[in-house]
Structure 1
């Protein structure tokens, strides 16, 4: 692919991204807004907005997926501002958007929902965002960093502190299975 083609993707590239990433983006948004239907609607809006602005996209060393998740993040912020009065239950309904083979969905089924919600509530906003992007959006740490406008290392540190806090709050259920918790850090 020529550099010029990378710099200005066309409709065809966006259609491929829709097929590949719609479900992940919908799941991420549903987890953020607490409602699967809103997640799916906003995910559609992400791709409409991307289609409207595809000509303004410029390659800057960040994959288009990160650009799409940045659009998703901005739409979520707008949605939450408009609907601040609505009571939401994040994470719980997000699992209904997940695919049948999704490990996060399986984990959500087995965990006590109230306990998980309480644990997520104990995280800072940045930690919650990293968990949502990495595990619901299935982004790499570099892609999550592009969405959050943070470096890869900062994202990994936020993720590490978030997972440690979740382990503590959830009573260390995962600690015995995690090599990092046993001092065997994997890089």
Structure 2
């Protein structure tokens, strides 16, 4: 099964993809640098461990490089293909998953340095509760929530990644949000 790229891809990406398909490692390195952060974030939110997310993001790009000779331009965005590879890797990892909480270093990196320590700790606890609740969703629900709200993808892009219709993507999102609200409400977090 050949995966494809859509005309909606950034024209610079499209040119780089064409070069990378022909074996240009410098073009692939540029694609890697452009897309690494979003793939890392997607994986990190799923696994909750910085080192593991870094390793898995690297593995996504190794698999991408290896599969490029079979890649055909034309139908789905390149980023959808990357997320699909990341998803497949996460599914494999999910089977043997060992969730880890958000590290203090990661939280500090996203916190305002002038914030009171109590607020930072409170935010860490909120993030941990949210991450734990998201991890209780089934794999497809997790994926849709993360792609929609962490990565900001449209339902069209999500549908291409998960192999379902845009309507199905919306239904999955609605169902997952309802489940998340119930999970967080049971933990005493209201107004979600």
The Cα shift of 1:29 comes to 1.2
How many residue pairs were aligned?
160
Distance across 2 between alignment mates of 1:43 and 1:118: 21
Alignment of 1:80-119 (within 5 A): 80-81=94-95, 84=96, 87-89=98-100, 92=102, 96=106, 100=110, 109=123, 112-119=126-133
Going from structure 1 to structure 2, the CA distance change for 1:20 and 1:140 (only over 3 Å counts) comes to farther
* C-alpha contact 2:91 2:139 (8 A) present in aligned 1: no
Unmatched 5+ stretches in structure 1 = 175-187
Alignment of 1:1-187 (within 5 A): 9-11=18-20, 14-81=28-95, 84=96, 87-89=98-100, 92=102, 96=106, 100=110, 109=123, 112-171=126-185, 172-174=190-192
Going from structure 1 to structure 2, the CA distance change for 1:13 and 1:173 (only over 3 Å counts) comes to farther
Q: Which moved more, 1:31-40 or 1:159-168?
A: 159-168
Unmatched 5+ stretches in structure 2 = 1-6, 21-25, 112-119
The Cα shift of 1:117 comes to 4.2
1:183 aligned partner: none
Going from structure 1 to structure 2, the CA distance change for 1:36 and 1:67 (only over 3 Å counts) comes to same
* C-alpha contact 1:127 1:162 (8 A) present in aligned 2: yes
Distance across 2 between alignment mates of 1:143 and 1:32: 19
Distance across 1 between alignment mates of 2:127 and 2:156: 29
* C-alpha contact 2:134 2:180 (8 A) present in aligned 1: yes
Normalised by the length of structure 1, the TM-score is 0.68
Distance across 1 between alignment mates of 2:165 and 2:27: 26
| Structure number, greater radius of gyration | 2
* C-alpha contact 1:62 1:146 (8 A) present in aligned 2: yes
RMSD of aligned C-alpha atoms? 3.3
